[in-house]
Structure 1
Amino acid sequence: MAVRPRLAKRDWPVDMTAASRTIYFKNNVGCLWEEPGGYLRLDYHNGPREEAQFRALLTHVRQAMQRHGWSRLLVNQQQMNALTPSEESWMINEWLPQAVLENGYRYGAVIVAHDVFARLAMTGIVLTSRKLGHTYRNFEHEKEAVDWLLAQK
Protein backbone atom coordinates (compact mmCIF):
# COMPACT_ATOMS: atom_id res chain seq x y z
CA MET A 1 0.00 0.00 0.00
CA ALA A 2 1.43 3.34 -1.07
CA VAL A 3 1.66 6.09 1.49
CA ARG A 4 0.50 9.54 0.39
CA PRO A 5 2.88 12.34 1.31
CA ARG A 6 1.59 14.88 3.80
CA LEU A 7 0.77 18.25 2.33
CA ALA A 8 2.12 21.39 3.90
CA LYS A 9 -0.64 23.79 4.98
CA ARG A 10 0.20 26.11 2.10
CA ASP A 11 -0.44 23.22 -0.33
CA TRP A 12 -3.85 22.32 1.10
CA PRO A 13 -6.77 22.56 -1.28
CA VAL A 14 -9.21 25.30 -0.30
CA ASP A 15 -11.84 22.80 0.94
CA MET A 16 -9.40 21.13 3.37
CA THR A 17 -8.61 24.49 4.90
CA ALA A 18 -12.31 25.24 5.39
CA ALA A 19 -12.67 22.25 7.70
CA SER A 20 -9.97 23.56 10.05
CA ARG A 21 -10.73 27.31 10.12
CA THR A 22 -12.29 28.88 13.21
CA ILE A 23 -14.72 31.75 13.57
CA TYR A 24 -13.25 34.85 15.19
CA PHE A 25 -16.34 37.07 14.91
CA LYS A 26 -19.69 36.99 13.16
CA ASN A 27 -22.64 39.37 12.77
CA ASN A 28 -25.31 40.21 10.19
CA VAL A 29 -22.76 41.85 7.89
CA GLY A 30 -20.33 38.96 7.64
CA CYS A 31 -18.07 36.42 9.24
CA LEU A 32 -14.38 36.72 10.15
CA TRP A 33 -12.39 33.49 10.16
CA GLU A 34 -8.94 32.55 11.41
CA GLU A 35 -7.32 30.42 8.73
CA PRO A 36 -4.73 27.73 9.55
CA GLY A 37 -2.46 29.20 6.84
CA GLY A 38 -1.79 32.25 9.04
CA TYR A 39 -4.23 34.75 7.57
CA LEU A 40 -7.73 36.08 8.17
CA ARG A 41 -10.74 35.51 5.94
CA LEU A 42 -13.64 37.94 5.78
CA ASP A 43 -16.85 36.71 4.13
CA TYR A 44 -19.47 39.39 3.54
CA HIS A 45 -23.15 38.41 3.64
CA ASN A 46 -25.76 39.56 1.16
CA GLY A 47 -28.45 42.04 2.10
CA PRO A 48 -28.85 45.38 3.79
CA ARG A 49 -26.56 46.21 6.69
CA GLU A 50 -26.37 48.64 9.56
CA GLU A 51 -23.28 50.78 9.51
CA ALA A 52 -22.58 50.07 13.19
CA GLN A 53 -22.41 46.34 12.44
CA PHE A 54 -20.23 46.99 9.38
CA ARG A 55 -17.81 48.98 11.51
CA ALA A 56 -17.88 46.34 14.26
CA LEU A 57 -16.95 43.58 11.82
CA LEU A 58 -14.03 45.55 10.40
CA THR A 59 -12.88 46.61 13.85
CA HIS A 60 -12.64 42.92 14.74
CA VAL A 61 -10.49 42.41 11.63
CA ARG A 62 -8.01 44.95 13.00
CA GLN A 63 -8.09 43.39 16.46
CA ALA A 64 -7.49 39.90 15.06
CA MET A 65 -4.53 41.14 13.00
CA GLN A 66 -3.06 42.72 16.09
CA ARG A 67 -3.71 39.64 18.22
CA HIS A 68 -2.10 37.20 15.79
CA GLY A 69 0.50 39.49 14.22
CA TRP A 70 -0.92 38.58 10.80
CA SER A 71 -0.63 40.89 7.80
CA ARG A 72 -2.79 39.05 5.24
CA LEU A 73 -6.55 39.13 4.65
CA LEU A 74 -8.73 37.24 2.18
CA VAL A 75 -11.86 39.31 1.54
CA ASN A 76 -14.76 37.46 -0.07
CA GLN A 77 -17.02 40.20 -1.40
CA GLN A 78 -19.01 38.02 -3.80
CA GLN A 79 -22.30 38.48 -1.90
CA MET A 80 -21.61 42.00 -0.65
CA ASN A 81 -23.89 44.88 -1.59
CA ALA A 82 -22.44 48.24 -2.57
CA LEU A 83 -20.89 50.34 0.17
CA THR A 84 -22.70 53.46 1.24
CA PRO A 85 -20.77 56.73 0.84
CA SER A 86 -20.40 56.85 4.63
CA GLU A 87 -19.02 53.29 4.81
CA GLU A 88 -16.60 53.96 1.96
CA SER A 89 -15.40 57.20 3.56
CA TRP A 90 -14.87 55.50 6.94
CA MET A 91 -12.89 52.67 5.34
CA ILE A 92 -10.66 55.02 3.34
CA ASN A 93 -10.11 57.70 5.97
CA GLU A 94 -10.10 55.74 9.22
CA TRP A 95 -10.17 51.97 9.03
CA LEU A 96 -7.61 51.31 6.30
CA PRO A 97 -4.94 53.73 7.60
CA GLN A 98 -5.32 52.30 11.11
CA ALA A 99 -5.24 48.69 9.87
CA VAL A 100 -2.07 49.32 7.84
CA LEU A 101 -0.19 51.70 10.14
CA GLU A 102 -1.22 50.31 13.54
CA ASN A 103 -2.12 46.66 12.91
CA GLY A 104 0.31 45.56 10.22
CA TYR A 105 -2.17 44.94 7.39
CA ARG A 106 -0.07 44.46 4.24
CA TYR A 107 -1.82 42.12 1.77
CA GLY A 108 -5.46 41.92 0.76
CA ALA A 109 -6.72 39.29 -1.71
CA VAL A 110 -10.23 40.30 -2.75
CA ILE A 111 -12.69 37.91 -4.36
CA VAL A 112 -14.69 40.52 -6.22
CA ALA A 113 -18.38 41.20 -5.68
CA HIS A 114 -21.07 40.22 -8.14
CA ASP A 115 -22.60 43.68 -7.60
CA VAL A 116 -20.96 46.15 -9.98
CA PHE A 117 -21.39 49.06 -7.56
CA ALA A 118 -19.62 47.12 -4.82
CA ARG A 119 -16.76 46.55 -7.28
CA LEU A 120 -16.59 50.26 -8.09
CA ALA A 121 -16.34 51.19 -4.41
CA MET A 122 -13.21 49.07 -4.15
CA THR A 123 -11.47 51.29 -6.70
CA GLY A 124 -11.20 54.17 -4.22
CA ILE A 125 -10.05 51.84 -1.50
CA VAL A 126 -7.38 50.30 -3.73
CA LEU A 127 -6.09 53.73 -4.76
CA THR A 128 -5.87 54.79 -1.12
CA SER A 129 -4.03 51.63 -0.11
CA ARG A 130 -1.20 52.39 -2.56
CA LYS A 131 -0.33 55.52 -0.58
CA LEU A 132 -0.13 53.45 2.60
CA GLY A 133 2.22 50.75 1.33
CA HIS A 134 -0.51 48.12 1.29
CA THR A 135 -1.15 45.73 -1.62
CA TYR A 136 -4.61 44.69 -2.81
CA ARG A 137 -5.20 42.24 -5.59
CA ASN A 138 -8.59 41.34 -7.08
CA PHE A 139 -9.60 37.83 -8.08
CA GLU A 140 -12.63 36.19 -9.65
CA HIS A 141 -11.95 32.80 -8.03
CA GLU A 142 -11.07 31.81 -4.49
CA LYS A 143 -8.28 29.36 -5.30
CA GLU A 144 -6.24 31.99 -7.13
CA ALA A 145 -6.82 34.48 -4.31
CA VAL A 146 -5.68 32.01 -1.66
CA ASP A 147 -2.64 30.94 -3.69
CA TRP A 148 -1.56 34.57 -4.16
CA LEU A 149 -2.14 35.43 -0.51
CA LEU A 150 -0.15 32.44 0.75
CA ALA A 151 2.75 33.44 -1.51
CA GLN A 152 2.99 36.85 0.26
CA LYS A 153 5.40 36.86 3.18
Structure 2
Amino acid sequence: MGNRSLASARLFLTLLGLSLLLGGCAAPSVRPAKPPLSGHPIVREAVRLTGVPYRYGGESPRGFDCSGLVYYVHKRLGMSVPRTAEAQWRACRRVKRAQPGDLVFFRPPKQKIHVGIYLGDNRFVHAPATGKRVRIEALNGYWRRCYLGAGRFWD
Protein backbone atom coordinates (compact mmCIF):
# COMPACT_ATOMS: atom_id res chain seq x y z
CA MET A 1 0.00 0.00 0.00
CA GLY A 2 2.94 2.33 0.60
CA ASN A 3 3.99 2.23 -3.05
CA ARG A 4 0.44 2.80 -4.19
CA SER A 5 0.08 5.90 -1.94
CA LEU A 6 3.40 7.24 -3.16
CA ALA A 7 2.36 6.73 -6.81
CA SER A 8 -0.98 8.46 -6.17
CA ALA A 9 0.78 11.38 -4.49
CA ARG A 10 3.22 11.70 -7.42
CA LEU A 11 0.37 11.62 -9.92
CA PHE A 12 -1.54 14.24 -7.95
CA LEU A 13 1.51 16.54 -7.72
CA THR A 14 2.27 16.08 -11.42
CA LEU A 15 -1.30 16.97 -12.41
CA LEU A 16 -1.29 19.92 -10.02
CA GLY A 17 2.00 21.18 -11.47
CA LEU A 18 0.71 20.84 -15.03
CA SER A 19 -2.51 22.67 -14.23
CA LEU A 20 -0.58 25.53 -12.61
CA LEU A 21 1.84 25.69 -15.52
CA LEU A 22 -0.87 25.62 -18.16
CA GLY A 23 -3.09 27.97 -16.15
CA GLY A 24 -0.33 30.57 -16.43
CA CYS A 25 -0.71 30.41 -20.20
CA ALA A 26 -4.37 31.35 -20.08
CA ALA A 27 -5.37 34.72 -21.43
CA PRO A 28 -5.41 37.37 -18.71
CA SER A 29 -8.73 38.85 -17.75
CA VAL A 30 -9.29 42.00 -19.75
CA ARG A 31 -11.23 45.00 -18.56
CA PRO A 32 -13.07 46.71 -21.36
CA ALA A 33 -11.52 50.01 -22.39
CA LYS A 34 -13.44 53.20 -21.80
CA PRO A 35 -15.32 54.15 -24.92
CA PRO A 36 -13.57 56.77 -27.03
CA LEU A 37 -14.39 60.37 -26.27
CA SER A 38 -17.03 62.07 -28.35
CA GLY A 39 -16.11 63.51 -31.71
CA HIS A 40 -17.82 66.78 -30.75
CA PRO A 41 -15.51 69.69 -31.65
CA ILE A 42 -15.81 71.20 -28.15
CA VAL A 43 -14.76 67.88 -26.63
CA ARG A 44 -11.81 67.47 -29.02
CA GLU A 45 -10.57 70.99 -28.35
CA ALA A 46 -10.95 70.70 -24.57
CA VAL A 47 -9.25 67.30 -24.31
CA ARG A 48 -6.33 68.63 -26.35
CA LEU A 49 -5.69 71.10 -23.49
CA THR A 50 -5.32 68.52 -20.71
CA GLY A 51 -2.08 69.06 -18.84
CA VAL A 52 -2.10 72.86 -19.14
CA PRO A 53 -1.47 74.42 -15.71
CA TYR A 54 -4.18 76.17 -13.72
CA ARG A 55 -3.77 79.93 -13.60
CA TYR A 56 -6.24 82.21 -11.85
CA GLY A 57 -7.76 84.48 -14.51
CA GLY A 58 -6.05 82.46 -17.26
CA GLU A 59 -7.69 82.04 -20.64
CA SER A 60 -4.85 80.77 -22.83
CA PRO A 61 -2.77 77.60 -23.23
CA ARG A 62 -0.21 79.18 -20.88
CA GLY A 63 -2.76 78.64 -18.10
CA PHE A 64 -6.51 78.43 -17.47
CA ASP A 65 -8.96 78.87 -14.68
CA CYS A 66 -12.19 76.88 -15.02
CA SER A 67 -14.22 79.48 -16.89
CA GLY A 68 -11.18 80.58 -18.91
CA LEU A 69 -10.91 77.05 -20.30
CA VAL A 70 -14.57 77.11 -21.35
CA TYR A 71 -14.20 80.63 -22.76
CA TYR A 72 -11.07 79.71 -24.77
CA VAL A 73 -12.49 76.47 -26.21
CA HIS A 74 -15.69 78.15 -27.38
CA LYS A 75 -13.79 81.17 -28.76
CA ARG A 76 -11.49 78.85 -30.78
CA LEU A 77 -14.62 77.38 -32.35
CA GLY A 78 -16.12 80.78 -33.16
CA MET A 79 -18.62 80.87 -30.29
CA SER A 80 -19.07 83.70 -27.87
CA VAL A 81 -19.60 82.86 -24.19
CA PRO A 82 -19.32 84.99 -21.05
CA ARG A 83 -15.95 84.95 -19.28
CA THR A 84 -16.88 83.93 -15.72
CA ALA A 85 -18.46 80.69 -14.49
CA GLU A 86 -21.24 82.64 -12.77
CA ALA A 87 -22.06 84.52 -16.01
CA GLN A 88 -21.81 81.30 -18.04
CA TRP A 89 -24.31 79.64 -15.69
CA ARG A 90 -26.73 82.57 -15.98
CA ALA A 91 -26.44 82.82 -19.79
CA CYS A 92 -26.42 79.18 -20.92
CA ARG A 93 -29.44 77.27 -22.16
CA ARG A 94 -30.14 74.70 -19.44
CA VAL A 95 -30.37 71.03 -20.38
CA LYS A 96 -31.72 68.15 -18.30
CA ARG A 97 -29.16 65.59 -19.45
CA ALA A 98 -25.65 66.66 -20.37
CA GLN A 99 -24.41 65.69 -23.82
CA PRO A 100 -20.76 65.75 -24.92
CA GLY A 101 -19.74 69.38 -25.36
CA ASP A 102 -22.19 70.71 -22.77
CA LEU A 103 -21.01 72.63 -19.75
CA VAL A 104 -21.38 71.10 -16.30
CA PHE A 105 -21.65 73.44 -13.33
CA PHE A 106 -20.88 72.83 -9.68
CA ARG A 107 -21.36 74.79 -6.48
CA PRO A 108 -18.78 73.53 -3.98
CA PRO A 109 -19.49 74.46 -0.35
CA LYS A 110 -18.53 78.07 0.42
CA GLN A 111 -17.02 78.59 -3.04
CA LYS A 112 -17.93 80.25 -6.31
CA ILE A 113 -19.54 78.30 -9.14
CA HIS A 114 -17.13 75.95 -10.92
CA VAL A 115 -17.51 74.85 -14.56
CA GLY A 116 -16.20 72.06 -16.77
CA ILE A 117 -16.93 70.57 -20.18
CA TYR A 118 -18.84 67.28 -20.30
CA LEU A 119 -17.12 64.58 -22.36
CA GLY A 120 -19.66 61.76 -22.15
CA ASP A 121 -19.39 58.50 -20.21
CA ASN A 122 -19.84 60.42 -16.94
CA ARG A 123 -16.55 62.31 -17.41
CA PHE A 124 -15.69 65.97 -17.72
CA VAL A 125 -12.59 68.10 -18.30
CA HIS A 126 -11.82 71.15 -16.19
CA ALA A 127 -9.13 73.38 -14.70
CA PRO A 128 -9.50 72.42 -11.03
CA ALA A 129 -7.42 74.72 -8.82
CA THR A 130 -4.10 76.40 -8.14
CA GLY A 131 -1.23 73.92 -8.37
CA LYS A 132 -3.22 71.52 -10.56
CA ARG A 133 -3.48 71.02 -14.32
CA VAL A 134 -6.40 70.76 -16.73
CA ARG A 135 -7.59 67.19 -16.36
CA ILE A 136 -10.37 64.70 -16.96
CA GLU A 137 -12.35 63.49 -13.96
CA ALA A 138 -15.33 61.27 -13.28
CA LEU A 139 -18.58 63.03 -12.50
CA ASN A 140 -19.14 61.18 -9.23
CA GLY A 141 -18.34 61.40 -5.53
CA TYR A 142 -17.44 64.98 -4.64
CA TRP A 143 -18.44 66.37 -8.03
CA ARG A 144 -21.82 64.62 -7.98
CA ARG A 145 -22.57 66.11 -4.55
CA CYS A 146 -21.70 69.63 -5.77
CA TYR A 147 -23.46 69.28 -9.14
CA LEU A 148 -25.58 72.31 -10.00
CA GLY A 149 -26.69 71.49 -13.54
CA ALA A 150 -25.76 71.46 -17.22
CA GLY A 151 -26.10 73.95 -20.02
CA ARG A 152 -24.93 74.75 -23.52
CA PHE A 153 -24.21 77.57 -25.90
CA TRP A 154 -24.25 75.50 -29.10
CA ASP A 155 -27.19 74.09 -31.07
Question: Same fold, TM exceeding 0.5?
Answer: no
**Which structure has more helix as a fraction of its residues?**
1
Larger Rg: 1 or 2? 2
Bigger RCO of structures 1 and 2 (CA < 8 A, at least 6 apart) = 2
